[in-house]
């Protein structure tokens, strides 16, 4: 890792209008980066890494060229339009994965190309969040090809030349994801990316709550963990009715930030969270940054850190809002 590295977190709030076309999605991504650039011009260093939350590209498969009141309606229409394919997918144990396999290539390019272009233009590494995609492999002369019939949560890291350095898959799935036929990536592919900023690992959503995933990255000399996330649970409300433990407390006390404490190699955990509102799904969460307190890494500036968060060891930075878009940068030094 460089002696000084500036990271920008994009707590993005995508809306259905951002997915109606590839052009609309590209415009939204461009706005996020332009806002980052404006902040740079006001005196902050340019970012060396820009990180987006989970599911940035998932909705392209459902909403591009469509207008419908709810997610259930969208899926129902897709089932009715291709009943044989739907039946084959469901009976084979792949659930509703066919919904996302339909025209996957066009949706994949609509998702990833704006981020690749921004990485080149702004000369920065980019984690574009994630999308539901098949397992992909590049074949010279044929472009991106899918392997197998399943889909999974996929994220990646893009370098400043616009090159996709590799793919990371979501390992731990929710019951809803399993019911849809989404496949787990397994831990074999949990490998950090070697970059000019040091070794960077990507854990998607729920993966950051599992110590085994953290252990695997730590044993591979990973220095920074990115955890693009999206949660549809109310951030400030109790996890269970009648209890006082909030969703926020669970994320901050049991998530990736707590699991990196005392590690030998992992020094930093960056958790960009989504505040998107897509049809009947509203996502909430305060993006946050933890450091491993046993590591010499430190944030260069800490302004107006809320005192109510002092009880979370290693928590250095947290978004001001759990339901509004925020784009903020921080500089770390060793």
pLDDT digits (tens, 9 = 90+) for 248-295: 999 999 999 999 999 999 999 999 999 999 888 899 999 999 999 998
DSSP letter for each residue of 186-240: -STT--PEEETTEEEEE--GGGGG-HHHHHHHHTTT--EEE--B---S-TTSBSS
Tokens standing for 61?
A: 């498969």
- The side-by-side arrangement of strands in the sheet containing 288-291 is 193-195, 198-202, 224-226, 268-271, 288-291, 315-318
Give domain 4-333's CATH superfamily. Carbon-nitrogen hydrolase (3.60.110.10)
What are the C-alpha distances in Å from 66 to residues 127, 164, 218?
A: 27, 29, 43
User: How far is it, in rounded angstroms, from Cα 117 to Cα 131?
Assistant: 18
How many CA atoms, within 13 angstroms, populate the side-chain half-sphere of residue 9? 29
* 49-63, 73-87, 173-187: least confident range: 73-87
pLDDT tens, residue by residue, 73-121: 655 555 445 444 444 444 444 455 666 777 778 899 999 999 999 999 9
> What residue ranges do the domains of the chain occupy?
4-333
Cα-Cα-Cα-Cα dihedral sign, residues 126, 129, 131, 137: positive
């Amino acid at each position: 890792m460089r002696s000084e590295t500036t990271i920008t977190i994009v707590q993005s709030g995508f809306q259905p209008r951002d997915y109606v076309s590839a052009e609309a999605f590209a415009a939204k991504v461009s706005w996020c980066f332009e806002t980052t650039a404006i902040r740079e011009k006001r005196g902050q260093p340019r970012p060396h890494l820009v990180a987006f939350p989970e599911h940035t590209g998932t909705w392209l498969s459902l909403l591009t060229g469509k207008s419908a009141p709810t997610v259930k309606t969208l899926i129902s229409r897709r089932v009715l339009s291709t009943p044989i394919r739907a039946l084959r997918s469901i009976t084979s144990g792949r659930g509703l994965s066919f919904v996302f396999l339909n025209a996957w290539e066009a949706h994949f390019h609509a998702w990833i190309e704006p981020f690749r272009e921004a990485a080149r233009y702004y000369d920065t590494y980019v984690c574009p969040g994630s999308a539901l995609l098949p397992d992909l492999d590049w074949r010279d002369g044929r472009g991106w090809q899918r392997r197998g019939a399943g889909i999974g949560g996929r994220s990646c890291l893009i370098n400043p030349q616009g090159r996709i350095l590799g793919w990371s898959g979501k390992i731990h799935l929710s019951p809803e994801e399993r019911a849809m036929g989404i496949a787990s990536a397994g831990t074999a592919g949990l490998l950090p990316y070697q970059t000019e900023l040091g070794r960077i690992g990507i854990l998607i959503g729920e993966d950051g709550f599992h110590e085994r995933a953290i252990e695997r990255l730590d044993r591979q000399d990973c220095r920074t963990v990115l955890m693009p996330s999206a949660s549809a649970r109310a951030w400030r409300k109790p996890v269970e009715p009648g209890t006082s433990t909030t969703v926020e407390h669970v994320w901050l006390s049991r998530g990736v930030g707590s699991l990196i404490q005392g590690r030998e190699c992992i020094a930093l955990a960056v958790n960009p969270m989504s505040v998107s509102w897509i049809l009947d799904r509203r996502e909430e969460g305060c993006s946050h940054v933890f450091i491993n307190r046993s590591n010499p890494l430190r944030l260069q500036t800490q302004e107006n850190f809320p005192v109510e968060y002092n009880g979370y060891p290693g928590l250095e930075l947290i978004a001001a809002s759990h339901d509004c878009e925020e784009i903020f940068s921080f500089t770390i030094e060793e």
